[in-house]
Amino acid sequence: MNFERVMPLAFVGIWATGFIAARLVAPYTDPLTFLSYRYLLSAAAFIVIAIGLRAPWPQGARAWGNALFAGVLLQGIYLGGVFWAVRHGLPAGIAALIVGLQPLLTALLAFPLLGETVGLRKWVGILLGFGGALLVLEPQLHVGTQGVAAGPLIAIVAAMLGITLGTIWQKRIGATADIRTGAAAQFIGAAVVTIPIALLTETGRFEMVWQSWVGLLWSVFGLSVGAISLLLFMIRRGSVASVASLFYLVPPVVAVFAYLLFDETLNGLQIAGMLIAAAGVAIASRGPRAATR
């Protein structure tokens, strides 16, 4: 079996579990405190892997700065923004809808920032994926934003911009960088910006219950080591628009997990949305790889 063919499916499946892990730990931890522990442990895991495999480290201040900045965007701003916004009252459906704009914005910025041409077929796939994701999220979108403060809305928009620009930045700087040492640097960067905010705004709550530990360990080894490694590899090998479109498969997979684990409803409209999103991603992902610089 060609690993590159199953890699996108593996990434989506693992990435979707992040929402389940967040739901598992939410009653027992402060969000930014949890992310701080995750970033530190993830950085440590990648450092051990890199040393064990004798992977080359970034050479020079510029290379280190590029990797740290990618981590601030991809991890610190994106995950921190999502966790903080939902924790402070933004409905999950609205959060998912705004973050769902990321593939559209990535496609718009791919040519001016990377020189990647997004053809008609990719645009059709991206728009189909967005429409399918909307249908999957439809039951959650009935909760409006009345009474939601401006802060959570700003945070979720910042999160969407963070992962969009982080994906593009990673494409620009990641052609020759080692993924293992680059990931270690990225999580260090994320920790540097997240820990001070957590110390200033939270009480450091992390209850010593199994939910907290299972969620943390899976977030480190499943999501950070597993999913992030796959994401960085796919960004290196493919166009950013195609990689970004994969995120439209996340709401359908999360909906299935929620149905199986939490007895949430799954109606016909959502199932139709899953099929449309899958078709859109398949269309957007077809075609030759974009040339890398």
Query: pLDDT by residue (tens digit) across 12-58?
Result: 888 888 878 887 888 899 999 999 999 999 999 999 999 999 999 98
Contact indicator for 35, 201 with CB cutoff of 8 Å: no
178/117: higher pLDDT: 178
Q: Which residue from 22, 4, 8, 43 is spatially nearest to 218, judged by alpha carbons? A: 22
Which residues make Cβ contacts (< 8 Å) with residue 159, sequence separation at least 6?
77, 78, 79, 80, 81, 82, 85, 98, 99
User: Cα separation of 229 and 232, whole Å?
Assistant: 5
Angle between helices 120-137 and 268-285 (to 10 degrees): 160
Over its C-alpha atoms, the chain yields an Rg (Å, rounded) of: 18
Indicate the pLDDT class of residue 174, thresholds 50, 70 and 90: low
Query: pLDDT by residue (tens digit) across 53-105?
Result: 999 998 889 989 988 999 999 889 998 888 888 777 777 667 777 887 888 88
Instruction: Tell me the domain boundaries of the chain.
Output: 3-285
Identify residue 159 by its one-letter amino acid code. Answer: A
Q: Which residue from 165, 158, 185 is spatially nearest to 83, judged by alpha carbons? A: 158
Task: Give the pLDDT score at 3.
Answer: 64
Task: Give the pLDDT score at 197.
Answer: 93
